[in-house]
């Protein structure tokens, strides 16, 4: 199932380029604050799923192109990210002026956190700060792993049981010497979407293609099988430190091909069986 947020916090199911509003069936009031409706849905999924399917069967859908897609899970308890988590990206970072000394990778560095407020949806725009356009801003193609079943000290063997679904994620980064979390936490620096595709619909997540284009030029292409810390291992590692809650997001880290973006560009990300979205880059 593809579950979206749109037009001010409505919850929808996306099928065949049509979105069906299931907000009432989910007990979500559009515009609620804080916007934790999706977290509640994920936590109560087994109970809500048949109600959602019944609502879709009786609803009149809207063309997907007529709505504005928002980030599907805007209020996770935490948004965790894995640094330098593909071998080819680690190699391409060697010697760059902004590279972290020592060549730290996810298997020895663990995770860092991005601000939840940096997330936007497929209907938004990546906004580069106009007073810092002399800096380099880079795109990073990643996959968002959305936690369903909460837990602490989750084993590698049971890790996929805790996954609710997946989404596309672009980790936008301002290069420089400031703390990583600050440089990655500007508002709009974490597009996530276009929706959450539930794990049962994605199936085996390890061999699916992850791709990113800038202005139609393919910049990045890899699969989760090439992660240094894999999906299962990332869940186990994170849950050894902090209890993972329903709706938490783990960003996979990125592969080689990281490069600059500037105002006027269009960035497109696509992950097989998960989704595709394109966002403009502007200066604000």
Where exactly are the structural domains of the chain? 2-70, 79-283
Q: Tell whether the model's pLDDT for residue 101 goes beyond 80.
A: no
**Pick from 87, 84, 75, 137: nearest CA to 112:** 84
- 35 contacts 247 by C-beta, under 8 angstroms: no
In angstroms, the CA 96 to CA 156 distance is 34
Q: How far apart are CA 140 and CA 182, in angstroms?
A: 16
Which residues does residue 139 pair with via DSSP β-bridges, in sequence order? 259
Return the pLDDT at 89: 73
Show the tokens assigned to 13: 């199911």
Residue 53 φ/ψ, nearest 5 degrees? -65, -40
Task: Domain 79-283: state its class.
Answer: alpha beta
- Overall average pLDDT of the 68-78 stretch: 98
pLDDT of residue 107: 87
Collapsed DSSP state (helix, strand, coil) of residue 233: helix
Q: pTM for the complete prediction?
A: 0.95
Cα–Cα separations (whole angstroms), residue 87 to 173, 225, 270: 19, 11, 21
Mean pLDDT, rounded, of the chain = 95
Beta strands in 102-172 (DSSP E): 112-113, 119-120, 126-128, 137-139, 141-147, 163-170
* Lowest-pLDDT range of 41-55, 94-108, 123-137: 94-108
- Write the DSSP symbol of residue 82: -
E strand spans, 201-261 = 210-214, 217-222, 249-251, 259-260
Is residue 174 scored above 90 in pLDDT? yes
Distance of CA 156 to the CA centre of its chain: 21
Distance CA 100, CA 246 (A): 32
* Mean per-residue pLDDT, 77-89: 90
Per DSSP, the three-state class of 172 is coil
**Which H or E run includes 49?**
helix 45-58
Q: Tokens representing 93?
A: 């970072």
Q: How far is CA 51 from CA 45, 46, 114, 153, 166, in A?
A: 10, 10, 34, 32, 22
Contact 250, 147 (CB under 8 A): yes
Q: pLDDT grade, residue 92 (50/70/90)?
A: confident
Overall average pLDDT of the 79-95 stretch: 81
Q: How far apart are the first and last CA of the chain?
A: 35
Peptide bond into 249 cis (omega under 30): no
Tens digit of pLDDT for each residue in 190-205? 999 999 999 999 999 9
* pLDDT of 13 strictly over 80: yes
Query: How far apart are alpha carbons 211 and 144 in whole angstroms?
Result: 14
């Amino acid at each position: 199932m593809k579950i979206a947020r749109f037009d001010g916090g409505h919850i929808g199911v996306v099928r065949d380029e049509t979105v069906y509003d299931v907000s009432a069936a989910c007990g979500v009031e559009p515009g609620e604050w804080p916007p934790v409706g999706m977290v509640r849905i994920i936590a109560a999924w087994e109970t809500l799923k048949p109600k959602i399917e019944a609502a879709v069967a009786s609803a009149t859908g809207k063309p997907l192109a007529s709505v504005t897609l928002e980030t599907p899970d805007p209020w996770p308890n935490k948004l965790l990210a894995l640094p330098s988590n593909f071998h080819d990206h680690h190699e391409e970072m060697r010697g760059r002026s902004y590279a972290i000394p020592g060549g730290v990778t996810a298997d020895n560095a663990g995770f860092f956190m991005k601000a939840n407020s940096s997330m936007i949806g497929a209907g938004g725009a990546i906004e580069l700060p106009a007073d810092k356009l002399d800096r380099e801003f880079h795109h990073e193609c990643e996959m968002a792993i959305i936690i369903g079943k909460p837990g602490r000290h989750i084993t590698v063997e049971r890790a996929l049981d805790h996954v609710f679904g997946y989404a596309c994620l672009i980790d936008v980064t301002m290069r420089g010497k400031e703390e990583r979390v600050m440089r990655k936490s500007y508002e709009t620096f974490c597009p996530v979407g276009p929706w959450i595709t539930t794990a049962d619909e994605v199936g085996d997540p390890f061999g699916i293609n992850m791709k990113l284009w800038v202005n139609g030029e393919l910049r990045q292409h890899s699969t989760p099988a090439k992660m240094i810390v894999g999906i299962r291992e990332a869940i186990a590692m994170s849950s050894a430190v902090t209890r993972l809650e329903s709706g938490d997001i783990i960003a996979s880290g990125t592969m080689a091909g990281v490069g600059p973006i500037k105002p006027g560009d269009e960035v497109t990300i696509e992950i097989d069986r998960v989704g595709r979205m394109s966002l403009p880059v502007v200066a604000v």
